[in-house]
Structure 1
Amino acid sequence: MLKIGEFSQLGQVSIRTLRHYDEIDLLHPQLVDEESGYRYYSVKQLEVLAQIVLLRELKFSLKEIKSLVQEDPKIFTAALLKKDREIEKEIQRDKYRQQQIHQMIQRMQHQDKYQVTIKKIPAFSVISLRKKIKSFYHEGLLWEDFMEVLENQQIAFPPEADQNLTIFHDKEYLEEGVDVEVAIISDKEVEEPLQRRRLPELEQAAIMYVEGNYHQLPEAYQSFAKWLDEHPEFEMVKATRQFCHVGPEHTDNPEEYLTELQIPLIPLTLT
């Protein structure tokens, strides 16, 4: 038998905490001397105490711990596995937060890396599939649908990287229900749900090239907004086009992606 002080030292838990565990019926002493009031614990109870300490570190509540240490080992193991999955999800959330931090630092260090040039874009014909998708992150699924329909209609996907583009039709940023059109440059006849149409000439368009993964696109648009503020002689209009020069179908490394942004402009008469 171990006195409470010895049990506290070996279990690395304070005497105050042990007394609290006793009061809430979580871990009682094996024996309490009626005359002296001294509390004694068995060596086997160190294993129970170690379980309690671990569960506390894993953010289990005392109420949950009280039920678990009295449960069948299989139920105890199932609870630990469930907590393991929760921790893994939290790790992924923390990794995402880290990415956001790193991207913010990059934006602060490379605020002027996106150069804007003005260019005339001639009219050209495209075959496209236009849908409202759940969010911007679901664009890849739309491309998969598009390529499947192209294959069913025996239309080859162009091997050239700059022969496919995405057009965003919403006039504002939307979290869901995004109006997106994916297209390839072609003038072949098609059947529904595909459409063949001619994209109009853009007399003036702001051209930007984004190197790296698609998470940098918001940063590029912010840079364009700054450019637009510095050039009040222009106003952006109509739908923005994105050409994928190097993308997931060309490389497994997202840092090697190369995306061209084409943002239609109209000149303003300044007074």
Structure 2
Amino acid sequence: MKIPARTKKALKNYSIGIDSHDEDISILIESELYIPPKTMSHDECLRWLDHSLKSTSKKLVTDHFLYGVQNFKPEYRAAFSAFSVASKLPRHTYQGLDVYCKTCGAFETQTIDLTLINCSRYLYGSLRSMTPADLALYLQLDTNLPAPKKFTNERFIVLLSELAISPINETPTSLLKRLSNNKHLNFPKEEIRGLLETLGFTGILQSPLHPGYIYEYTPPFSKSAKTSKSDWRYPIDFWTGTNGINDSAIKFWFSEQQDIMDKI
């Protein structure tokens, strides 16, 4: 079911902190998208994440991702990024050199705006933040989604075909612009950005020195951006057309999808 325009507007207003929160919250509550904030410690968030990760599977998140790509549903695509990061996040206690944990970026104790995290699922379809709470909520809510109806992988295959013809000097920014003009994809620009960052997290778009989370966990804030003006997430920030598509990652995630395997 498509999100009603008033609900999408409420999600956008909430996500950018517009002052009409009372009205927006009422709409989000009515739509069952509002989640009360919760105060949690770093270690509580890690336990929550462990439970959420054990409650899902690679097959579920990849099936949901492909369904979300084909049917313009960011909330179905979102857990793919979270699963790839959470699967490699080392279990640890709080290790704070400053105000946040140097391993996962979480505060020692924090009141977490869970609705704000949920807004990103519906508006961006990928991670905006990589704290354990973000990862846990993405995974937990993904398991509650209605089972996908029968679908094809046509739109994802179009996306792969476009990635495959990237010139060697392609950058994430030029790729975003090119895909935004592709009428066969027809995604909003912000959602394409989320898609590309997900492909970075999952190792499908990566570079040799900056691999995706399929291979290793990279703590938030531990890597500088490619340039001072870059606002892309790691590791796709360092990807260029010369790196192409990582076929090994495609095989790892989508080996059961023969139509996708036939394209690599």
TM-score > 0.5, shorter chain as reference: no
TM-score with structure 2 length normalisation?
A: 0.22
Compare CA radii of gyration and give the structure with the larger one.
1
The answer to which structure has the higher strand fraction is 1
The answer to which structure has the higher helix fraction is 2
- If asked which structure has higher relative contact order (CA below 8 Å, sep 6+), I would say 2
